[in-house]
Chain A
Amino acid sequence: KQEVTQIPAALSVPEGENLVLNCSFTDSAIYNLQWFRQDPGKGLTSLLLIQSSQREQTSGRLNASLDKSSGRSTLYIAASQPGDSATYLCAAPNFGNEKLTFGTGTRLTIIP
């Protein structure tokens, strides 16, 4: 059974700093790994998707990496802004299994 863990559960950093969010998974037979953003009381916005054959994906100030052998993924946010404040979730399906297993999220607060 896949288990996804995100550490830390909450993080506060001053505006402008670079930061890293961590995601660990127990079963490396993943088809891909996704990072989502969730604003309070809102739905999920897909940020980045890394295929199992890839090592990283970049979109603007965001960079996500994937290391299947160690069961880890990181989301790097450069030059953080107050608008980045949200909960960040990672999720992975398994091969032949379409359902996503989500981590519990990291609640990020960027201090102006």
Chain B
Amino acid sequence: NAGVMQNPRHLVRRRGQEARLRCSPMKGHSHVYWYRQLPEEGLKFMVYLQKENIIDESGMPKERFSAEFPKEGPSILRIQQVVRGDSAAYFCASSPDREADTQYFGPGTRLTVL
């Protein structure tokens, strides 16, 4: 059973470009969580999604950030018009259901904005 997969592992964008980060949850998992780790800081929750639904987006910046988890395919975290402050490691986690004990984390995508 493959673990949580994220791609790309490293992404470089210039200011003003768009960044798309993909997350494929573990097989059989229908719940996805996105976290952001800024340099020298801890991981901060961004958004929690189930298939075709956003459950909790309380950690998402109000502008430029969006997330989706379609019926088919990976979850996508989209950042429009990136700025240098968006440079961070973005981690995705998945769980089989809402009552699961733990979330399984992917290797992360490291976004660098030039």
Contact = CB atoms under 8 A, between A and B. Distances in A.
Interface stretch (B11-19, B36-44, B70-78, B80-88): B36-44
A41 B44 contact: no
Contact of A99 (B45, B104, B110): B45
Contact of B56 (A4, A32, A98, A103): A98
Interface size class of A (residues with CB under 8 A): 20 to 34
A62 to B, nearest CB: 16
B42 A102 contact: yes
A32 B101 contact: yes
Interface stretch (A13-21, A44-52, A75-83): A44-52
Interface in B57-73: 58-59
Interface in B86-114: 91, 93, 95, 98, 101-108, 110
Nearest to A31: B101
Interface residues of B, number: 26
B2 to A, nearest CB: 14
Interface of A: 4, 32, 34, 36, 41-46, 49, 51, 89, 91, 98-105
Interface of B: 31, 33, 35, 41-45, 48, 55-56, 58-59, 91, 93, 95, 98, 101-108, 110
21 contacts: A42-B107, A42-B108, A43-B91, A43-B105, A43-B106, A44-B91, A44-B105, A46-B105, A49-B102, A51-B101, A91-B43, A98-B48, A98-B55, A98-B95, A98-B103, A99-B45, A100-B45, A100-B93, A101-B45, A102-B35, A102-B43
